[in-house]
Each structure stands twice: as C-alpha cells, then as structure tokens.
C-alpha cells in the first residue's frame, strides 16, 4: 500500500472524524485504470479492498458516481443487487440504492427519438475514421477517440460537434479522457453528489475523481467536505494524489480511523 504523508493525514482528518460520511467516487481513472475498450474497465484490487473497508466502517456510505449509464456502471463495477454501494449513473440522471433499486429521471419520447437519430448520424459520419467509436448512452451518446490518430479524432469531434450544434443546440456537451459526450439531460456530478448527500443525510462528503467532468462535483463541495483529485492537472480539489493506489491508501486510512474511533 502507498504511504500516506502527514500532510495527507491532516487533510483527511476532518472528514475521517465526521458524524456521517458519504464517500462518492468516480470510477474510470479513479478506481479503475482507463481502458481502450470501455467495458473492459475493472476496479484495481487495492481500490476494491479500500471500498470494502469503508463499507464496513460505522456511519460510512460509499457511492460510485459516473458518466456511464447505470447498466454499464453495474457491469464494470461488478455490482449486484446485494451490493451496499450506492450508484449514480449518467452524470446523476440515474440512481441505484440498496433495498430500493433503480430510481431515474425520466426522459421524454421526443428526446429519445432525437437521441437515436443523432447517434445514427454520428455513426455514419465517423464510420470511415479508424479508432473512433460511438457509445450509446441512455440520455445521448459519446464519441470515443482513444484508439484514433490525432487527426481522425479531431475530424470526428469536428463533424459531430457541428451536427449536434445544428440539430440539438440545447444539449449538454462534456469532455473527458479521449471522449466527448452529448446529452439531452443537464444533470452533472455536482447534482448527483447533492442528491446522494440528501438521500443519505450525510454530514460530510468526500468526492474523488480524475477527469474534467469531476470538477463540477469538486467545485460544489462545502468547506466541511473534502475533494480529491487523482492525477496532476489543475483542479478545484483540496487534495491531489498521483494515482489509483495512492487514492486507495487514503481511503483505507479513512476507513481505519472511522472503525477505530467508533467501536
């Protein structure tokens, strides 16, 4: 396990001591390495062990918050109906709660029809660009370019940007690691964390993420919360860790402190 410095211990002390803690975590790049094939992503063993320790700690709730659809998030997280983990999928438009199951913000038929039309057009517009993949999402679609050349990635994004701007200018556009997502719903990870906080009656929140879309949640946190960024780019997070094992070490320390002080 990665060592945890005194500066990190100082940063996590307030949330570790909070009355009821919600630990809300992005998945891709935060708990799982980024994968060329998105559905191949899986949580690192150290991350899984840290989440198990948090779940076992008193007054501690763990949630995964992802841009993935709820269906895909459950698959990559290896999440079943007996899991204690809460889920927020599609950037907070879909939720899964233990003992309650799926709760979602319903879409309108016209939105779904336009989603299907634009997704098909995006597939047709990019089919000659090697390494570009259009990912179906419940509330829109994503343009993946991880396996494309820089030139083909630029062209794919240019084509789809122009199409969506012309046909669906009110849709929300999000950028991430080699992906641009388009959605007719406007929920973000900030609203997802707010809904999870209210649902769990948490006194404090720790949110961790690695990507641009995670910044919405990080900027929304209160002074009594803690934001953690995995990586080295500019961020609104209070605490930065270099990689997934380092985050797992931080989460394990928090779990240990909460278990030791609340017996």
pLDDT tier for residue 262 given thresholds of 50, 70 and 90: low
- Residue 52 is predicted with a pLDDT of 98
**Mean pLDDT score, 233-256:** 96
Min mean pLDDT across 27-31, 90-94, 191-195 is at: 90-94
Strands across the sheet containing 140-144: 133-137, 140-144, 179-183, 172-176
Min mean pLDDT across 26-35, 186-195, 218-227, 231-240 is at: 186-195
pLDDT tier for residue 187 given thresholds of 50, 70 and 90: confident
- Angle of helix 150-167 relative to helix 109-126, nearest 10 degrees? 150
The DSSP code for 59 is T
**Mean pLDDT score, 16-31:** 97
Rounded distance between C-alpha atoms, residue 229 and residue 211, angstroms? 8
Mean pLDDT score of the chain: 93
Question: In this structure, are strands 60-65 and 133-137 parallel, antiparallel, or unpaired?
Answer: unpaired
Residue 82 burial class via C-beta count within 10 angstroms: exposed 0-12, middle 13-18, buried 19 and up: exposed
Asked whether the predicted pLDDT for residue 163 surpasses 90, the reply is: yes
**Mean pLDDT score, 1-24:** 91
pLDDT tier for residue 59 given thresholds of 50, 70 and 90: very high
Asked whether the predicted pLDDT for residue 258 surpasses 90, the reply is: yes
Give pTM, 2 decimals: 0.80
H/E element, 7 = helix 6-16
- The alpha carbon of residue 40 and the mean position of all alpha carbons in its chain are separated, in whole angstroms, by 16
- Residue 2 is predicted with a pLDDT of 58
| DSSP string across 121-190 | HHHHHHTTSTT-EEEEETTEEEEE-TTS-HHHHHHHHHHHHHHHHHH-TTSEEEEETTEEEEES----HH
- 227, β-bridge pairs: 207
- Residue 4 is predicted with a pLDDT of 87
Find tokens 């700690």 and name the residue. Answer: 57
Spell 2-16 as b/e; 16+ CB within 10 A means b.
bebeeebeebbeebb
**Mean pLDDT score, 237-245:** 97
Residue 256 burial class via C-beta count within 10 angstroms: exposed 0-12, middle 13-18, buried 19 and up: middle
Find tokens 């906080």 and name the residue. Answer: 197
Asked whether the predicted pLDDT for residue 223 surpasses 80, the reply is: yes
Q: Is the dihedral angle over the CA atoms 221, 222, 226, 231 positive or is it negative?
A: positive
Give which of 151, 163, 89 is closest to 120, Cα–Cα. 163
pLDDT tier for residue 107 given thresholds of 50, 70 and 90: low
- In the chain, what are the domains? 6-105+188-261 (3.40.50.1000), 109-183 (3.30.70)
pLDDT tier for residue 169 given thresholds of 50, 70 and 90: very high
């Amino acid at each position: 396990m990665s060592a945890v410095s005194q500066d990190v211990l100082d940063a996590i002390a307030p949330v570790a001591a909070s009355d009821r803690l919600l630990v809300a975590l992005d998945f891709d790049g935060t708990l799982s390495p980024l994968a060329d094939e998105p559905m191949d992503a899986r949580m690192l063993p150290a991350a899984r062990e840290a989440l198990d320790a948090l779940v076992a700690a008193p007054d501690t709730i763990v949630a995964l918050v992802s841009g993935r659809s709820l269906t895909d998030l459950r698959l990559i997280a290896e999440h079943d109906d007996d899991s204690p983990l809460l889920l927020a999928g599609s950037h907070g438009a879909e939720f899964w709660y233990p003992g309650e199951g799926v709760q979602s913000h319903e879409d309108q038929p016209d939105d779904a029809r336009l989603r299907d039309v634009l997704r098909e057009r995006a597939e047709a517009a990019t089919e000659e660009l090697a390494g570009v993949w259009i990912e179906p999402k419940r509330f829109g679609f994503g343009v993946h370019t991880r396996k494309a050349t820089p030139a083909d990635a630029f062209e794919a994004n240019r084509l789809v940007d122009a199409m969506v701007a012309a046909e669906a200018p009110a849709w929300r556009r999000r950028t991430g690691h080699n992906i641009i997502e388009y959605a007719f719903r406007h929920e973000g990870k900030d609203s997802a964390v707010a809904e999870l906080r209210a649902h769990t009656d948490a006194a404090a929140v720790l949110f961790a993420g690695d990507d641009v879309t995670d910044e919405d949640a990080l900027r929304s946190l209160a002074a009594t919360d803690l934001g953690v960024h995995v990586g080295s780019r500019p961020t609104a997070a209070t605490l930065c860790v270099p990689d997934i094992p380092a985050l797992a070490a931080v989460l394990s320390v928090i779990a240990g402190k909460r278990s030791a002080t609340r017996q």
